[in-house]
Structure 1
Amino acid sequence: MAQAKTLTQAEIDQVLRYASTRKYPERNRALILTSFLTGMRVAEIASIKLGDIVNDDGTIKNEVRLSAAQTKGGHPRTVFIASKLKAELEAYLKTRHIKDPTIAFFHTDRRLKFTPNGLCVWFFSLYRGAGISGASSHSGRRSMITSLAQKGIGVRVLAEIAGHRSIAVTQKYIDANPEMCRNAMELI
């Protein structure tokens, strides 16, 4: 099975523009950027509840603590929320009228909880509609890890962020691209 495509910033912007033309644009943006700015797996995104993301005072948390039941490997982990993602999550939250911390944070078009498979299909349809071929629900995760590696973040830190127990797994996510190679050669 081929690896998910790593998207360029221009492609991410293309997807965001397309998503803004669809129903629930704030949700769409928040979902896309949650994938690209946290590197969470689609099943993890589908599993997060309002109480995982939102503090009692209604503000967005700095980090999400995923339980073992919410992660692929059955090991709890912490996902850090960047400030630019917080703004997107706040904008989306203004469209929701829920207060129960046990309710799913992201909803389907029918206002139901996404299943992991349903969210995979949602991402696939979104990328196809935006004209991006080869992308999947895992593209945000691969793109985030590659982007951080390109900025010089060490593989050990990347493994921690991704929730990998082995750096060998993390290394498979890093997609060497021409810009990375050019920058490396400038270090000589």
Structure 2
Amino acid sequence: MKVDGHGQAKVLTPHEIGKLFKAFGSDRDRACLVICLYTGCRISEACSMLTTDAYDAAGVRMKITLRKANTKGKQETRQIPVNSVLRGYLEIYRSRAGKQYLFPRRHGREHINPKSADEILRETCDRLGLVGVSTHSFRRTALTQMSSAGIPLRVIQEISGHRSLQALQRYLEVSKLQLEGAIASLFCFGFMFFPFRN
């Protein structure tokens, strides 16, 4: 867990996510971090999105576009399907989206700075007493949840944009419950090969 800016960002529980999203002061802040959670993108990718990356004339797009120019390493453009939860948040936010940038600064010029998004999150976490949370928590939570749900790592890598599976695996957290479940699954082999005898 992250302590004083060191270590990995905390993977959030559903309860913590709910508390955070209720506590954010604006739909802009909420929508920005919801995009990170439901697409697994980095905060810099979310902050720099164009409005047309999320909306078209008919409403919320079927896929969010993360442009190559805004990705880490400027590797390639990614398109992430929009699920029903993300769609709901984006529909609520639509009337507040900027003309050019999805998440504009106060006076509509440029996009919100990722450092500003980080400060907003830190202030909210301080109020709620949440420790170890950073903007990267939303990305780590998304990727860990997909892994826990049994989504193949290669599919998660397509979503996350990591260059290698090795880089992706550093993001994924393994819970104590998962470890216990993995060991418990070996129990059946004992009966198959070494039956108990009286």
TM-score by length of 1: 0.86
Work out which of the two has the higher radius of gyration on C-alpha atoms and give 1 or 2: 2
Map of 2:189 onto structure 1: none
CA gap of 1:84–1:145, structure 2 versus 1, over 3 A, is same
Aligned pair 1:15/2:20, yes or no?
yes
The amino acid of 2:31's aligned partner reads A
Per-residue deviation, 1:140: 0.1
Establish whether residue 129 from structure 1 lines up as the match of residue 127 from structure 2: yes
1:158 matches 2:163 = no
Tell me the CA shift for residue 154 of structure 1. 1.4
Q: Kindly state the Cα deviation for residue 108 of structure 1 after the two structures are TM-superposed.
A: 4.2
Percent identity over the alignment? 28
Aligned match for 1:117, one of 115, 118, 122: 115
Q: Is the counterpart of residue 5 in structure 1 residue 10 in structure 2?
A: yes
Moved more, 147-156 or 105-114: 105-114
Aligned residue for 2:53, secondary structure, equals helix
Contact 1:30–1:88, Cα closer than 8 Å, also in 2: yes
Q: For 2:19 and 2:39, how far apart are their aligned partners in 1? A: 19
Q: After alignment, is 125-134 or 35-44 more displaced?
A: 125-134
Provide the alpha-carbon RMSD of the alignment.
1.9
The unaligned stretches of length 5 or more in structure 1 are none
TM value normalised by structure 2 = 0.82
Equivalent-residue separation in structure 2 for 1:165 and 1:80 (angstroms): 20
Q: How many residues align?
A: 179
Q: Report the CA distance between 1:75 and its aligned residue.
A: 1.5
Deviations 1:52-74 (A, max 9, x none): 110122x1112122222110120
CA distance in 2, matches of 1:62, 1:173: 27
Supply the distance in 2 between the matched residues of 1:104 and 1:171 (Cα, whole angstroms): 32
1:106 to 103, 115, 132: 103
- 1:82 offset after TM fit, Å? 1.5
C-alpha deviations, 1:27-74, integer Å up to 9, x for none? 2332232121111101101100111110122x1112122222110120
Provide, for residues 122-176 of structure 1, a one-character-per-residue CA deviation record: whole Å limited to 9, x for no partner: 2222222222111001000000111111111111111111011100011001111
Instruction: Look up the SS of the partner of 1:64 in the other structure.
Output: strand
Find the aligned partners of 2:113 and 2:129 in 1 and give their Cα distance: 24
Q: Kindly indicate whether the alpha-carbon contact (under 8 Å) linking 1:67 and 1:75 is maintained by their aligned counterparts in 2.
A: no
Identify the residue that residue 169 of structure 1 maps to in structure 2: 167
